[in-house]
Amino acid sequence: MVLEEVTLISIENLPLGLTYETNSPTLVFYPQQDPFGCVRVCGTPMVAGQDTIRIHAIAEGTVGGIATTLNQDINLPIQVLPPSQDTVPDFTMSDTTGCEPVTVNYTPLLSGAGVLSSYDWNFGNGNSYQGADPPAQTYGAGDYEVTLQTTVTGIMLTELSISAINDDWCGDVDEPNLPFVGCVGQPDLYFTVIDAQFASSRSPVINNVQSHTWSGLSIPLGFPPFTLQVYDEDGLSDDDLLGTFTFDASLGTLPISQAGTSGTRNVQVQTVQIFNYNDSVHVFPLPNTALTLNTTTNELCAADLSLVSYAWQLDGVLVPGETGPCVPAANGEWTVTGTSAQGCTSSSTLEVTGVGMNDLANGRLLDVFPVPNDGRFVVRASGWALSGSFWMHVLDPLGRSVYAERITAPSNELLRTIDLGTVAHGSYRLQVSDGAHVATRPLVVGPH
Cis peptide before 101 (omega within 30 of 0): yes
Cis peptide before 225 (omega within 30 of 0): yes
Q: What is the pLDDT of residue 108?
A: 96
CATH 1.10.3470 fits 286-352, yes or no: no
Which pLDDT band, with edges at 50, 70 and 90, does 358 fall under?
very low
Which residues sit opposite 246 in a β-bridge?
A: 227
Q: What is the pLDDT of residues 200-226, one digit of tens each?
A: 999 999 999 999 999 999 999 999 999
Instruction: Compare 75 and 123 and report the one with higher pLDDT.
Output: 123
Q: What is the pLDDT of residue 369?
A: 83
How many Å is the Cα radius of gyration of the chain? 44
User: Chain-centre distance of CA 167, in angstroms?
Assistant: 59
Supply the DSSP symbol for 173: S
> Do residues 129 and 264 touch, judged by C-beta distance below 8 A?
no
Q: What is the pLDDT of residues 408-440, one digit of tens each?
A: 766 667 788 999 988 888 878 888 877 667 788
Q: What is the pTM assigned to this prediction?
A: 0.71
Which pLDDT band, with edges at 50, 70 and 90, does 357 fall under?
very low
Averaged over 352-381, what is the pLDDT?
74
CA–CA gap between residue 388 and residue 407 (Å, rounded) = 8
- Give, in order, the Cα–Cα distances in Å from 446 to each of 258, 371, 377, 397, 398: 108, 9, 12, 14, 18
Q: What is the pLDDT of residue 321?
A: 74
Same fold, 84-154+274-283 and 286-352: yes
Least confident of 109-118, 212-221, 289-298, 408-417: 408-417
Closest CA relative to residue 326, chosen from 254, 406, 261: 406
Q: What is the pLDDT of residue 11?
A: 85
Assign a CATH topology to domain 365-445: Immunoglobulin-like (2.60.40)
Residue spans per domain, the chain = 2-80, 84-154+274-283, 164-251, 286-352, 365-445
Which residues sit opposite 51 in a β-bridge?
A: 78
- Give, in order, the Cα–Cα distances in Å from 96 to each of 133, 145, 367, 371: 18, 11, 59, 60
Looking at domain 164-251, which CATH architecture does it have?
Answer: Sandwich (2.60)
Assign a CATH topology to domain 84-154+274-283: Immunoglobulin-like (2.60.40)
Averaged over 270-290, what is the pLDDT?
96
Least confident of 83-87, 183-187, 268-272, 408-412: 408-412
Q: What is the pLDDT of residues 24-57, one digit of tens each?
A: 888 888 888 888 878 777 888 888 888 888 888 8
Strand-strand pairing, 2-12 and 199-202: parallel
